[in-house]
A and B are shown apart, each in its own frame.
Chain A
Amino acid sequence: MSSNGNGRFVAVERVTKRFGELEVLREVTLEVPEHDVVCLIGASGSGKSTLLRCINLLEKVDEGEIVVDGQSLTGAKVDVNALRRKIGIVFQAYNLFPHMTVLQNVTLAPRKARGLSREEAEARARLLLRRIGLEEKANEYPDRLSGGQQQRVAIVRALAMEPKLMLLDEITSALDPQLVAEVLNLVRELASSGMTMIIATHEMQFAREVSDTICFLDGGVIREQGPPDQIFSEPKEPRTREFLARVLAAGRM
C-alpha cells in the first residue's frame, strides 16, 4: 500500500513542541498508512492544530522526527517549499486571498509554485470547481461567497496542488450549522477517493464515520488511539471517557 513499503505514509515520532515554557506537544507518536484517514479529537488547546502545523512545517518541531512519504521534514536541508506542495492544509478561517477571485485563488499556487501555464491551471481549477458545484462562482471574490462555499474553495485550492496528504484543521468550526454538511460531504468524497488525511475536528459523528483511526489528544499527548468504534464505544482511558461524556452532554454527537 504505502510508497515507503512499511505501511507508514506519515510517521510522527516522539515529537515535542514548545511555545516558550509551555509544552504544546509532548513526545507525540503517530503513524498514518497511505489512504487512511486519521481524526484528531480533544479539547481546544490539546495540541491538535499544532500537530497539523508541525506536519506542514508551519511550526518548527523542537524534538523528534516527522517523515512524510519517506522524506524527513525535520532533518537539515529540507526543501520546505517542495515538501509543502505535497501536503495540503485547510484552516478553520478559510484564509482565502480576499483580493483575488475564486479562480485566481485556486490557480495561484499551481502557476507560481508548480509552473503550470495559466490556461492549464485554469482548466484544472474549473474542473475542480465544477466537481464541488461552484464553477459559476469562478470570477467572484471570496467575500461574495457563503462560509461553506469559501471553505469548499479553500479545500479545492489545496487540492489544486495535487497533494498526497491533506491536513484539515477544524474546517467546520467557523461555519453556521446549516453550512457544515456541504463541507463534510466534500471531505467524505475525498476520503472515499483514497486521499490520506489527518483531520482535527469537533464533529464526532463525522469523525466516527469517516476515519480509520481516532486519536484523542489531551494536554499535548495522545492519550488514546484506536479504531473509531473502540474509542467511541469502549474508551479505555478515563480522560477519553470524560471528554466524550462532555461532548455528549453538549449535544455534539
Chain B
Amino acid sequence: MHRVLHAFVDPFYFRQSLPDIWSGFVLNVHMMVIAEALVLVLALLIAVVRGLPGRGARPLRGLAIVYTDFFRGTPLTIVAFVCILGLPGTGIGFLKNVSSTALGIVALTIVYTAYVTEVYRAGIESVHGSQRMAARSLGLSYGQALRYVVLPQAIRRVIPPLLNDFIGLQKDTAIIGAIGVTEAAAQGTNFANDYFNYTGYFVAAVFFVYLTIPLARFTDHIIRQRELRERAAGT
C-alpha cells in the first residue's frame, strides 16, 4: 500500500512536479477556452440550419445531418491524429506552419460541435410550437421568432447538458497531449519518465477536477437565479 501511495501520490514529488504540470495545464485551459467558444457558436449555427423549414433548405439540412452523424460517431483520437499529424503532412503551405496546439483545437472543435449541435437541437425542439406561432402571429419573421422567442428559451434549458459536454471537452484536451502537445497529462508523462514516479498524473487530475467543480456550481447558481426571477414561490 505504501509503495502504491509513494508511486502515485507522493508529497515530495507532488511539490516537485507542480510547476511543470501547471505550465502544461495552462495549455489545456487555453485549448479548452478557445474550443468551447468556437463550439458554442458553430453548434448553434448548425442546429439552426438543421431546423430550417422548406424544400429549398433541404441540401443544407442534409449537410448538417451528415456532419453531426459523422463526427459524433468518430473517436476524437482519430480526428486528432488526422488534424495534428495528417494535415501538416499534406504539404499544403500554410498548414505546415500551424502549431499542433491550434490543430488540436480544430480537432476538439470539430468533434464537440457535433455533440453540442444535438444538445441545442433538443433544446430548440423542447420549446412548444405555440411559442413560435404566437411570435409569428404578431408579425415577427421566422428569424426574429427564432432569435427573440425560441432560442433564448431553448438555450436556457440546455445549459446543464451543455456544461456536461464542456466537462468532457476539458478532459479530452488531454487526448491532444497524447499527440505531441505538452499539456498537463503529457507533462505528467515527462515527469514519470524523469523521476520514475507517477505523482505528476495525480497533480494533473487534481487540476482538472478543480476546474470542473466551480464550473458546475456556477451553472447551478445561474439556473437557480433564473428560476427565482421567473417563477413565483408557491403559486
Query: Which residues of A come within 8 Å of B, CB atoms?
Result: 56, 58, 81-82, 84-85, 87-89, 91, 93, 95-99, 108-109, 112-114, 141, 143-144, 157-158, 161
Contacts and interface: CB of A to CB of B under 8 A. Distances in A.
B217 interface: no
B156 A91 contact: no
A157 B138 contact: yes
Contacts of A97: 131, 134-135, 149, 153
Interface in B145-187: 148-149, 152-153, 156
Tell me if B's interface is mostly helix, strand, loop or mixed: helix
Interface in B121-139: 130-131, 133-139
Interface stretch (B12-20, B39-47, B74-82, B226-234): B226-234
Interface residues of B, number: 22
B134 A95 contact: yes
B144 interface: yes
Nearest to B156: A99
B133 A58 contact: yes
A112 B230 contact: no
A99 B148 CA distance: 10
Nearest to A141: B230
B137 A58 contact: yes
Nearest to B138: A109
- Nearest 6 CB-CB pairings of A with B: A85-B139, A109-B138, A95-B134, A113-B139, A84-B139, A144-B232
A141 B130 CA distance: 18
Contacts of A108: 135, 138, 140, 148-149
B134 A161 contact: no
B141 interface: yes
B130 A93 contact: yes
B138 A161 contact: yes
B235 interface: yes
Nearest to A160: B138
Contact of A91 (B134, B140, B230): B134
Contacts of A81: 139-141
A113 B144 contact: yes
B137 A56 contact: yes
B229 A84 contact: no
Interface core residue of B135, B139, B231, B232 (most chain A CB under 10 Å): B139
Nearest to A112: B144
Contacts of A91: 130, 133-134
Contacts of B144: 112-113
B123 to A, nearest CB: 13
Nearest to B137: A89
Interface core residue of B131, B148, B229, B235 (most chain A CB under 10 Å): B148
A56 B133 CA distance: 10
Given A97-B131, A99-B152, A143 B141 contact: no
Given A91-B130, A99-B230, A158 B152 contact: no
B231 A143 contact: yes
A95 B153 CA distance: 13
Contacts of A98: 153, 230
B134 A113 contact: no
A24 to B, nearest CB: 17
B229 A141 contact: yes
Interface core residue of A99, A141, A158, A161 (most chain B CB under 10 Å): A99
